Amino acid sequence: MRVRILYHDHCFDGAASAAFFSRFLQARLGTDATFAYTGLAHTATQLFHEAMFDGDVNAIVDFKYSADPRLTWWFDHHQSAFLSPQDAEHWQKDTSGQKLYDPSFHSCTKFISTVTRERFGFDGSDLDELVTWADIVDGAQYANAEEAVELRSPAAKLTLVIESAKGSELVQRIIRMMMDQKLQQIIGDAEIQSVYAPLYERHLGSIDVIRERAEYCHKVVSFDLADLGIEGYNKFIPYYLYPDSIYTVSVSTSSFRTKVSVGSNPWAREEPVHNLASICERYGGGGHPRVGAISFPIGAVEAARRAAAEIREILGAGQP
């Protein structure tokens, strides 16, 4: 039996969700089941196409819902889980018991582990380390910004590789390793180390770039990396540099989109009051209440900058 799992690409929780769910299905379907993976990214264009659902079993984890009749399983925890009201209505009418949504979870991995244990009797306790760290990483539950930015744990190091590696091949290798290996074993793998080392040097450089580019006003850190071609950065760097900040807004570009990232400081001395997913939804984006993003087409830098400026004003209003 062929299983196709679509997952949130270049995301620790997306990879961990795919790994945990694979283990669950492996136990359910038997060792004859074969697994294939497709990484998904939030873009300004269509997210799904027919060719994606080519398995005997098709699943989406840690990503938006699809009403495609070939979809067998779905797990997500994002506030912005549905592309349209019609998709939400379609999900509400589902009677399979295999398309599950709960935005109260910090991570999709923890959601999957909880549901598969409580509803289906699956014992995935040997993956407790993976579940715990997925919750820490995706829920921004590091002890402090230093722990997150200085990459003190195997999970933080592996997050850098997953988020920054080119293409999906290495991420999918990591997914398969996550199914039965500890995180220290995975990050210690020679191939992964060869990717990690230059990414770590780039990570250190990005701290300096953000320090130089950042503007800090009304408890909001904002910066623009669109002209530098930096596809990603550790989202905790702004709070590492500006511990008194509450929010961050940035513009960046990649090979497939222009992106506005919006976040809130997990260690802020003042509780954030804005729902960032709801703000991003106004511009066609989404996410979680404490972190969100908006995808614009390639080259739509000025549109992204306008949105970022408007959001910066919203977040800074009323702040000293």
Over residues 250-278, mean pLDDT: 93
Contacts with 294 (C-beta within 8 Å, 6 or more apart), sequence order: 259, 260, 262, 280, 283, 284, 285, 304, 307
Specify which residues 247 forms β-bridges with. 220, 264
At residue 138, the pLDDT reads: 95
Residues 6+ apart with CB under 8 A from 257: 41, 42, 43, 44, 295, 296, 297, 298
How sure is the predictor about 93, in pLDDT bands with cuts at 50, 70 and 90? very high
Task: Write the CB contacts of 67 (distance below 8 Å, at least 6 apart in sequence).
Answer: 86, 87, 90, 91
Does the pLDDT value for residue 191 go beyond 70?
Answer: yes
Name the pTM for this structure.
0.90
* Average pLDDT score, the chain: 95
Question: Which sequence spans correspond to the domains of the chain?
Answer: 2-191, 215-316
Does the pLDDT of residue 44 top 70, yes or no? Answer: no
When the candidates are 3.40.50, 3.90.1640, 1.20.120, 3.30.70, the CATH number that belongs to 2-191 is 3.90.1640
pLDDT given at position 29? 95
Strands (E), the chain: 2-8, 34-40, 57-61, 73-76, 99-101, 215-217, 220-224, 247-253, 258-264, 286-287, 291-296
For the stretch 292-317, pLDDT in tens is 999 999 999 999 999 999 999 999 98
Mean pLDDT, residues 236-246 taken together: 97
**Rounded to an integer, what distance in angstroms lies between the CA atom of residue 117 and that of residue 138?**
21
pLDDT at 55 over 80: yes
- Give yes or no for residue 318 having a pLDDT over 70: no
Class of domain 215-316: alpha beta
Q: Is the pLDDT of residue 21 over 90?
A: yes
